[in-house]
């Protein structure tokens, strides 16, 4: 996973129903270590495009490659392999309600085969990063939306992903939690060189890292900055 272009999109066609394209005639690349915002009107296909990046929706035509892996005809085993390099964050958090905060963050690490000691230490460090020390044994529904998103952020960062894909991660959040999320995304990008792709309604104004801006309109993706 060290290709210069971590995402390569060429003549991409995405659709849910034949003859109804959501994304079409779209080509662009995302360089390793870059920070990319994707904006566009509601219903323009932002979530659809992101879905294709994590293998939830296959291209109908064209070419899509993430970290050198083609997503066009990807097999489940290869997709599971690819997902190890991805950290994904959703607007509605997608935490497991029946699990505590600690388990939500730690279980993926245990599954990935790290020792219990390493998982415990890593989870503790991550929960400190997202300012949730002391809430380890809470369940998601006992937390505010902002706190839940910070758990999701800790989970996404847990396995040191090469690419973070975030779909309106601060869409529903209070200002404090938004600030924590943006600053963690910034420091992952700046300090670890993590490639960040974020779908958002509004680009934060006080970002310290350089970024690119792609805009979706009428099914096409335009690079505007
Ligand atoms: N699972 C689905 N099945 C059929 N159509 C869908 C599905 N998900 C999204 N769409 C359609 O695709 C279009 C783009 O949706 P989406 O990517 O969610 O937009 P955005 O995230 O930009 O608001 C919309 O017209 C939506 O109705
Ligand atoms: Mg969306």
Question: Is pLDDT at 3 greater than 70 in this prediction?
Answer: no
Q: Measure the CA–CA gap between 45 and 33, rounded to whole angstroms.
A: 24
Specify the higher pLDDT residue, 107 or 40: 40
Q: What's the pLDDT at 108?
A: 83
Band (2; pLDDT cuts 50, 70, 90): low
| Total domains present in the chain | 1
Cβ of residue 91 lying under 6 Å from some atom of ligand 1:
no
**Which residues are within 8 A (CB) of 111 and not within 5 positions of it... i.e. 6 or more apart?**
none
Answer yes or no: is the C-beta of 188 below 6 A from any ligand 1 atom: no
Residue 41 alpha carbon, nearest atom of ligand 1: 22
Using one digit for the tens of pLDDT, what is the confidence trace for 83-137? Answer: 999 999 999 999 999 999 999 999 888 888 899 999 999 999 999 999 999 999 9
Let me know if 27 is exposed, middle or buried by CB neighbors in 10 A (0-12, 13-18, 19+): middle
- Evaluate if residue 1 carries a pLDDT over 70: no
The pLDDT tens digits of the residues spanning 173-222 come to: 999 999 999 999 999 999 999 999 999 988 999 899 999 999 999 999 99
pLDDT of residue 145 exceeding 60: yes
Contact 64, 52 (CB under 8 A): yes
Q: Is 43 helix (H, G, I), strand (E, B) or coil?
A: coil
12 beta partners: 26
Query: DSSP readout, 97-136?
Result: TTS-HHHHHHHHHHHTT--HHHHHHHHHHHHHHTT-TT-T
- The string over 112-132, giving b where at least 16 C-beta atoms fall within 10 Å of a residue's C-beta and e elsewhere, is eebeeeebeebbeebbebbbb
165 alpha carbon – ligand 1 mean position (Å): 17
If one counts every other C-beta atom within 10 angstroms of the C-beta of residue 33, the result is 15
CA of 168 to the centre of ligand 2 (A): 7
Q: Compute the average pLDDT of residues 23-44.
A: 96
Residue 94, classed as helix, strand or coil, is coil
pLDDT digits (tens, 9 = 90+) for 153-175: 999 999 899 999 999 999 989 99
Six-digit token string for 135: 């809430």
Domain that holds residue 122: 5-223
CATH number of the domain at 104, please: 3.40.50.300
- In this predicted structure, what is the pLDDT of residue 202? 87
pLDDT of residue 134: 97
Q: Is 22 in the pocket of ligand 1 (CB under 6 A)?
A: yes
Using CA atoms, how far apart are residues 202 and 92, in angstroms rounded to an integer? 17
Handedness of CA 128, 165, 149, 213 (dihedral sign): positive
């Amino acid at each position: 996973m060290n290709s210069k272009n971590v995402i390569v999109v060429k003549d991409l066609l995405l659709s849910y129903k034949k003859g109804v394209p959501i994304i079409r005639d779209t080509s662009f690349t995302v360089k390793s270590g870059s920070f990319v915002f994707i904006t566009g009107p509601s219903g323009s296909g932002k979530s659809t495009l992101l879905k294709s990046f994590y293998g939830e929706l296959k291209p109908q035509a064209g070419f899509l490659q993430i970290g050198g892996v083609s997503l066009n005809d990807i097999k489940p085993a290869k997709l599971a392999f690819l997902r190890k390099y991805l950290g994904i964050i959703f607007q509605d958090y997608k935490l497991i309600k029946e699990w505590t905060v600690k388990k939500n963050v730690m279980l993926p690490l245990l599954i990935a085969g790290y020792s219990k000691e390493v998982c415990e230490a890593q989870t503790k460090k991550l929960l400190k990063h997202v300012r949730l020390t002391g809430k380890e044994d809470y369940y998601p529904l006992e937390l505010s939306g902002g706190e839940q998103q910070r758990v999701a952020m800790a989970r996404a960062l847990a396995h040191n992903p090469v690419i973070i894909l975030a779909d309106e991660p601060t869409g529903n959040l209070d200002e404090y939690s938004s600030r924590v999320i943006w600053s963690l995304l910034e420091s992952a990008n700046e300090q670890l060189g993590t490639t960040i792709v974020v779908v958002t309604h509004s680009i934060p104004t006080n970002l310290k890292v350089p970024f690119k801006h792609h805009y979706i309109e009428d099914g096409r993706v335009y690079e505007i900055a």
